[in-house]
Structure 1
Amino acid sequence: MIKKVIAAFALMLSFQSASAQIDLLKDFPKGYEPEVIGKRMAYHFVGGKHLLHVGKWISYPETFTWNGALNFGDVTKDKELVKQLQNRFEPLFTTEKALLPIMNHVDVNMFGSLPLTLYRITGEKRYYDLGMPYADTQWEVPENASASQKEWAEKGYSWQSRLWIDDMYMITIVQTQAYLVTGDRKYVDRAAKEMVLYLDELQRPNGLFYHATDVPYYWGRGNGWMAAGMTELLRCLPKDSEYRPRILKGYHKMMKSLKEFQTEEGMWRQLLDQPDCWIETSGSAMFAYAFIEGIKNGWLDAEEYAPVARKAWMAMVAYVNENGDVRNVCTGTNKKNDKQYYYDRKRNVGDYHGQAPYLWCAVALTQLKK
């Protein structure tokens, strides 16, 4: 009997400790509140300019930032913000229709996640009709596909596969959104199968990821795409999915490593394992997002990881200027088997690559308070 009482008391203390750690992500000092930072950045985006992919179509960084602002408006019940973001989208049905991306690459197909987010929030079917073809064509092999693209498709993967770590957010986000609005498991299952492929091919023994099979460097934002991609999948993937255990294993392995590579300041570097490399904000925000969601959903131990997430958010806010623009954002980056190439990448201010994951964090932290 005494042993049972002791065990129950220990369990109670454990719950209290975990709750106290989660509280670290609910109470921030003035100027660091996620509701304040998120609102400033979301409304800042409303008045921003389009960032076009190859000068022609709405780009993936703009899409992700738009999604983040929409989700922030939805979570905070800011109907005015959602309306303004809809108004920004409206010309894409008319005068800016030419800016709608074509459907032939991971970097452009992911645009479909945006109208699907709008459909999920507003219920307006025209967004659904616009978004779904972007999800479907990611698995519909075109006649002019190369032999290697056809080979990917024959194995059940997207013909757009290329084994770059960037892909695991690009593919995941549009497929999970399609699953959320249709309830059809084929969308989330095929994204999960794709994720397992990338985990098996690119994750290293230390839990981090090479940029590609032929680029053996731990690029910060690239690893951020993997962290955020796994996070989005785990949020949506049914508990009975055959792929869930493998993805969760890869996620845990990565989070443990990222904890070790977090700088004393709370951020992460452009090349994660290089102590002389510069602090990079977009990857840091993606990692913070993965930690926050992991704690919120019970995938990570709050006692161990809540201090990591809080430290990251507090450090991140210091990189937001008075206009709501994030500093030290690595510019768009192709792969290259050259270590110095990553050191030399331009550091942008207000780049949507950085604005987007800051908004994701603001959404996740705001949800924790509800």
Structure 2
Amino acid sequence: MKKNIIVILGLLFGFPFISFSQSADLKKWPKGVSPEEIGTKVAIRFIATPHTNFNRPSPPRVITYAESCAWYGALKFAKASANRNLKNELIKRFEPMFAQEAGMIPPVTNVDYAVFGSVPLQLFIQTGDKKYKEMGQTIADKQWAMPDSGVKVSPVQLAAFKNGYSWHTRMWIDDMFMITALQAQAYRATKDEKYINRAAKEMVMYLDSLQKPNGLFYHAPDVPFFWGRGNGWMAAGMAEILSSLPANNPNRPRIMKGYETMMRSLLSYQAPSGMWRQLIDEPTSWEESSSTGMFAYALVVGVKKGWLEKEKYAPAVRKAWLALVSRLDENADVKDVCEGTNKKNDKQYYIDRKRIVGDLHGQAPILWTAAALID
């Protein structure tokens, strides 16, 4: 009875979100909030946005990882929505990387820079043009090759490299999207299983080292806080790798277990609004958009792939999507995005992070999620 009253009130007062909030339907959406409409607006906004430098006044020297992730998301959305004009505009944005903007290609000196390689690899997948494959594959290979002379490598990174892991290993949960997105893309582009095997081995090490009994992850071993976006990177990274990891890969059961454990936990921490918080387990912490987008992406992939029970998890996806849409302004910029954040063993540090509007950390997962919802 109460649910029916809410539905009627929503219809009378023009709040279409309300009547759909508990639905498990991920195909039917009120006008103006469909993944096709929202994804198109956010992708067009990305194309119109110049190269960013995390809101610093100086011109950007290289493409940031946030821009790489948004670019990758826009390409995935263009493919899923069969939007040829959008794809062409994203290609046009990339062409200067072979000419006047070649100096903006990030050097493969750390995990954040290397994720750029996922963009040319996705361009190769969509166009078949080998110049993109060559660029992206070179970056993926360097992530596991002996570091160039002069590149600073910590003892932890060197030890990881000697044990068959990437020398980009630093045991921050952010890494498990940056590394897995690049290596999974290299596998999709080349069909060479060494790339997906690398990513799977790396993911298992992070799961075994950082996942807690509640399914969530500390930002790093020495930072005991469940930071939203950091956990979002982990969730999205597991969704990325599981989407392509062969069924017979010996590491697949461990990764799937880690993924399922995390997804169950996320359901219990989702706020009534549909959002997740800056510190996931802190009820007084502010609701944050980039983590919400990343969790929505990881969940919808699981529902679509049949890893997660639709009736249980799809309503959470729907609530999250509608909550994110409600935070988009007239420019298709999402509000309440945590600024770029290093690790720090200080709880207040995370709570006090600035809330940015239109930051690509938040724009990117909206594009991933829109693509996943319509794919």
Which residue does 1:14 correspond to in 2?
none
**Gaps spanning 5+ residues in structure 2: where?**
1-21
Which residue does 1:199 correspond to in 2?
207
Which residue does 2:247 correspond to in 1?
239
One-letter code aligned to 1:161: T
Per mean C-alpha deviation after superposition, the further-off stretch among 303-312 and 236-245 is 303-312
After superposition, residues 1-370 of structure 1 pair within 5 angstroms as 24-52=25-53, 55-142=60-147, 143-144=149-150, 145-367=153-375
Contact 2:24 2:311 (C-alpha < 8 Å) held by counterparts = no
Q: TM-score, normalised by structure 1?
A: 0.92
Contact 1:176 1:187 (C-alpha < 8 Å) held by counterparts = yes
Shift of 1:52: 3.8
CA distance in 1, matches of 2:284, 2:300: 27
2:25 aligns to what SS in structure 1? Answer: helix
2:188 aligns to what SS in structure 1? Answer: helix
Shift of 1:147: 3.7
For each residue in 1:85-110, what CA deviation from the matched residue of structure 2 results, as whole angstroms up to 9, or x when unmatched? 11111111101111010011000011
Aligned length: 347
2:165 aligns to what SS in structure 1? Answer: coil
Contact 1:327 1:350 (C-alpha < 8 Å) held by counterparts = yes
Contact 1:210 1:217 (C-alpha < 8 Å) held by counterparts = yes
For each residue in 1:57-93, what CA deviation from the matched residue of structure 2 results, as whole angstroms up to 9, or x when unmatched? 1011101111111111111111111111111111111
Which residue does 2:9 correspond to in 1?
none
For each residue in 1:161-217, what CA deviation from the matched residue of structure 2 results, as whole angstroms up to 9, or x when unmatched? 010000000000000000001111110011000000000110001000000000000
Runs of 4+ in structure 1 over 6 Å off: none
CA distance in 1, matches of 2:262, 2:24: 24
Change (3 A) 1:271 1:146: closer
CA distance in 2, matches of 1:185, 1:328: 39
CA distance in 2, matches of 1:211, 1:318: 28
CA distance in 1, matches of 2:314, 2:185: 27
Q: TM-score, normalised by structure 2?
A: 0.91
For each residue in 1:306-330, what CA deviation from the matched residue of structure 2 results, as whole angstroms up to 9, or x when unmatched? 1111111111110111110000000
CA distance in 2, matches of 1:298, 1:254: 16
**Gaps spanning 5+ residues in structure 1: where?**
1-20
Identity among equivalent positions (%) equals 54
For each residue in 1:100-156, what CA deviation from the matched residue of structure 2 results, as whole angstroms up to 9, or x when unmatched? 100110000111000000010011111111111110011012245444322111111
Per mean C-alpha deviation after superposition, the further-off stretch among 348-357 and 45-54 is 45-54
For each residue in 1:282-341, what CA deviation from the matched residue of structure 2 results, as whole angstroms up to 9, or x when unmatched? 000100011100000000011111111111111111011111000000000000000000
CA distance in 1, matches of 2:24, 2:270: 21
Per mean C-alpha deviation after superposition, the further-off stretch among 82-91 and 53-62 is 53-62
For each residue in 1:229-278, what CA deviation from the matched residue of structure 2 results, as whole angstroms up to 9, or x when unmatched? 00000001000000000000000100000000000111000000111100
One-letter code aligned to 1:30: K
CA distance in 1, matches of 2:146, 2:358: 36
CA distance in 2, matches of 1:26, 1:77: 17
Structure 1 vs Structure 2 CA RMSD: 1.3
1:342 aligns to what SS in structure 2? Answer: helix
CA distance in 2, matches of 1:315, 1:134: 36
1:24 aligns to what SS in structure 2? Answer: coil
